[in-house]
Structure 1
Amino acid sequence: MESSTQIERCTPIIRVASFKLAMPFYSSIGFIEEWRRQVDPAFPVFAAISRGVVKLFLSEHADDGAVGIRLILDVSDVDLFHAECIQNGVEIHEPPQDMVSGERRMSLRDVDGNVLTFETSRTRRLF
């Protein structure tokens, strides 16, 4: 089936136990809060954060998935991003490494155990 409609963006929802505890991690890797919705102080938070053109939703709502997901985010230079993380005191889950599929990638783990993998594509594959 052919389709002429292009999917232009995907905004994943990351389940967090506490927005208040999660946001310092995301701020340390350059994300800023765009908006936050919380009907009442006793209700869960749903918020949008962004860094450049990348937007993520952080949600305390139990129905918004499970903690422990892995996201892959493309970055222009994973080694430069790694240096930025080190400078900001971010704990590195997996340091930059070359993958046989041709990417160079590193991973971080947020306070809830969600893994964010950052990668830069290489022009040469190792296999």
Structure 2
Amino acid sequence: MELKQLVPILRIFDEGKAKEFYLDFLGFTLDWENRFEPGTPVYMQISKGNVRLHLSEHYGDSSPGSTIRIEMTGISDLHKELMEKKYKYARPGLEKTPWESVECKINDPFGNRILFCEF
């Protein structure tokens, strides 16, 4: 047996807002998207570096309000890049934690939280 990859599924409610947040603001790339037919909910994969996420408009795929944690290096550079974009819905900070990490927490437009962290 081999476990290969964990790919979180996050619930979204608006494809345009999701792309604005994840692609334009956070800098992910759209790998693919799928609909059963025109006018139905979208299911898409995005990626950045070694991180892959699935975003779904489908009822029941995931609960809004989830949190994912992405371990990384260069969190100060990420924070600077995000702040320079002047995204009107989020201005994340950097937090030094008692457990010796630096974290950058960002809520997406659908109530999900992305927690970038560096040790």
Give the corresponding residue for 1:7.
Answer: 3
Root mean square deviation, CA, Å: 1.3
Q: Distance in 2 between matches of 1:107 and 1:39?
A: 34
Where in structure 1 do 4 or more consecutive aligned residues deviate above 4 Å? none
Q: What pairs up with 1:7-46 in 2 under 5 angstroms? A: 7-27=3-23, 28-46=25-43
Tell me whether 1:109 sits opposite 2:107 in the alignment: yes
Deviation at 1:114, TM superposition (A): 0.9
Deviation at 1:80, TM superposition (A): 1.2
Give the corresponding residue for 1:79.
Answer: 76
Q: How many residues align?
A: 116
Q: In the alignment, residue 115 of structure 1 is paired with which amino acid?
A: R
Q: Distance in 2 between matches of 1:100 and 1:10?
A: 27
Q: Where in structure 1 are there 5+ consecutive unaligned residues?
A: 122-127
Higher mean displacement: 82-91 or 51-60: 82-91
Q: SS of the residue aligned with 2:65?
A: coil
Deviation at 1:42, TM superposition (A): 2.3
Deviation at 1:113, TM superposition (A): 1.4
Q: Where in structure 2 are there 5+ consecutive unaligned residues?
A: none
Q: Distance in 2 between matches of 1:104 and 1:21?
A: 28
Deviation at 1:92, TM superposition (A): 2.6
TM-score, normalised relative to structure 1: 0.85
The answer to whether the 8 A contact 1:107-1:118 is kept is: yes
The answer to whether the 8 A contact 1:19-1:58 is kept is: no
Q: SS of the residue aligned with 1:39?
A: coil
